[in-house]
Structure 1
């Protein structure tokens, strides 16, 4: 069963281990329970969580049991890792709503049937803790000097780290301890930015229970220049189709840099590695075939085969030889919008994130309607713009939207 480790390493998932040899031995010897934590700070996961879910899915397919731990309790505090500012506080109701939405998205990757996986919420134990007992039981095992050397705290110390956030590491360490007690959970997986918090849990279990515990981190999704992937002009690339349409999702992957195609195929699809390497080795114009495979496979995983096929046919209609425009992302406007500034209409329908962004596009010559460049900020939407009842908006080189008049 340690071949799952070889597979994860071959596909480029693994970044760090707490105990590499012992982890290999453990995975060879038994089927283990492991966990990954997700903080419900929004009502949808985004591309940053995608690798974590693929990581879990590979482990589950190899016979190991995942615990998807939703941080209903830790979200009340906020994780300082990778953040320069304190996160906003959420109410219990907001957190519960987010938890419900996230579970639905996870079910596309993880099989929760018949005990094959567990969905846990750390609110179940963290919110009922007695503070003095917690300090005596858990706080005694943490060295403040050592905590202050952790990367997640270092960058915050310059701006100011609240005592509330300083507790986050103890709480995450306690999560691992609690899951170990309750479900015999022996391993934590997570993004590499969580390394300090993960070590805290491993050490707490070893000190309090004298039991072995392990952690391994996965690489963060970055492009060949080391920048985080998943950012778009409208913000994060969400997994919720209401926040990022399947077409925009497909187009994001269709347009990744040539140098990132092989890495994305390895991390974000289940294609065999021989096929990943074959596609990744394509050069010049042929690499576009690999990008189409990547976009289709990733969209299929998140939105299902039907939506992936629709996004593909819309892209073909706009950029290829197809002519089926029915799947191009479409908004509708009423006749009342005729005579209104085009930028106002585009901002209202969220085709552009803001009017200011629209002005920037116009200045750069990056906005057109029906193939004609928009050069005037005050240009109005007119009846003549609607050929066969629809106007085609193009933003930048590759983003299209259709406006229908109703």
Structure 2
């Protein structure tokens, strides 16, 4: 087997492919031009997209040429969801999201060198196409019975699916053909939920151009219970630091469960097989040290946000639980941390007792007084001895925040408006 495919298989990154032997031979022939697409259906990508971004990086490191597609056209439509019709965003909104997502994508591949990446937008070839041209040149090659048999379409038929979303597969297939014609792209990859769209493009090229291309799907990354990895109580874990702070991002991966952390290291980091197997042995021998989780959290945060933000996130975690000085945190890092711990906005003067109650660290004022009396209440990591202490300007970090803690691990805070 091709060395690259062997590594991807070991990492669990290949769920399906059109013809493994043919793909291996194709990769061995020389640099392959490949593409992966991202639709701007939100203002940011999330960690589910990170699987594809890092796969593109792996292929580029092996000498293959990335074509990174941001779907200015398909983003106006939206791939069918199992839960119902998507909201149609305005062209201005989608155009803004295209630029934001393009900037995120650009950080993961190199646009210079022998395997320089190319950025493309499918609106360039779809926007000017008229409906008659689309129906004659594209629609003619798609049997409706096959389109109806697609899993997501079949599940949506009872409640109804619009012709717009039903036709999405034609647009994605057109992308593959246009990239083959314009740039010589011969490989597409994406998530396993896109396999029907991807293989439709392979078939479309065979029917319309008598061409042969290749496709790979990556598996859904899950938790030990089989549910999707990458969701929190607050929703998706975003790559945009304004939506998910670097602190929260780092903490998310740091809290990976022992049963799955090695799998996540294979998918989300560039560590070698030897390094990952060593971390696996260390985790089995001394799980309480969480060596694999720390490596995972550090590596992924470095990739997405940079070393400086990862160091700030690590420092914030230490400061939050009294292991270093809160005053050393930058205002932006502190603001991100306080968002994650759920700080509550207050105005005017407030006593530490009322602040503990307002922040939800205790159930009542009497419980707050007991916490102070027992030595278990902290303001900015300083033990509180006066239950009637008024939180003034001298207690505010970055002129706005007070960090509250009950005991060793229960943390909250207040934000002065």
Q: Name the TM-score, length of structure 2 as normaliser.
A: 0.82
1:106-157 deviation per Cα after TM superposition (whole angstroms, max 9, x unaligned): 2221112367111111111112112122111111111111111112212222
Q: CA deviation at 1:202?
A: 0.2
Residues 23 and 362 of structure 1, relative CA distance in 2, 3 Å threshold: farther
Deviation, structure 1 residue 158: 2.8
1:242 and 1:88 map into 2 onto residues whose CA distance is 23
**Is the aligned partner of 1:91 residue 2:69?**
no
Q: Return the offset for 1:168.
A: 0.2
Partner of 1:353: none
> In structure 2, what is the Cα distance between the partners aligned to 1:194 and 1:343?
48
Which residue in 2 is equivalent to 1:167?
167
Which deviates more, 168-177 or 101-110?
101-110
- Structure 1: tracts of 5 or more residues without a match: 347-357, 374-380
- Cα distance in 2 for partners of 1:8, 1:316 equals 36
Partner of 2:178: helix, strand, or coil?
helix
Aligned pairs for 1:316-355 (under 5 A) are: 316-319=318-321, 321-323=323-325, 326-327=328-329, 329-330=334-335, 336-338=347-349
Instruction: Give the secondary structure class of the aligned counterpart of 2:149.
Output: coil
* Cα gap change, 1:386 to 1:127, in 2 (>3 Å): same
Closer, same or farther in 2 for the Cα pair 1:270/1:32, shift >3 Å?
same
Q: How much does 1:318 deviate?
A: 3.8
Q: How far apart are the structure 2 equivalents of 1:136 and 1:145? A: 18
Structure 1: how far apart are the matches of 2:409 and 2:106?
Answer: 32
Paired position in structure 2 for 1:217: 217
Q: CA-to-partner distance for each residue in 1:280-332, whole Å, 9 max, x for gaps? A: 23135445122111111111111100111111122233458545563463359
Q: Quick one: distance in 2 between partners of 1:255 and 1:362? A: 27
Contact 1:247 1:329 (C-alpha < 8 Å) held by counterparts: no
Counterpart residue number, 1:241: 241
2:34 is paired with a residue of what secondary structure? Answer: strand
The structural deviation recorded for 1:243 is 0.9
User: Which structure has the larger Rg?
Assistant: 2
2:297 to 288, 295, 298: 295
Q: Secondary structure at the match of 1:27?
A: helix
RMSD: 3.3
- The answer to whether 1:100 aligns with 2:111 is no
Structure 2: give runs of 5+ residues left out of the alignment: 379-387
| Correspondence for 1:315 | 317
CA-CA distance at 1:229 after TM superposition: 1.4
Distance 1:169 1:325, change over 3 A: same
- SS of the equivalent of 2:172 reads helix
Equivalent-residue separation in structure 2 for 1:298 and 1:337 (angstroms): 41
Asked if 2 retains the 8 angstrom alpha-carbon contact of 1:190 and 1:217, the reply is yes
Contact 2:37 2:71 in 1 (8 A): yes
SS in 1 for 2:23: helix
Q: How many Å apart are 1:383 and its aligned residue?
A: 3.2
Moved over 4 A (4+): 319-325, 331-335, 339-346, 369-373, 393-406
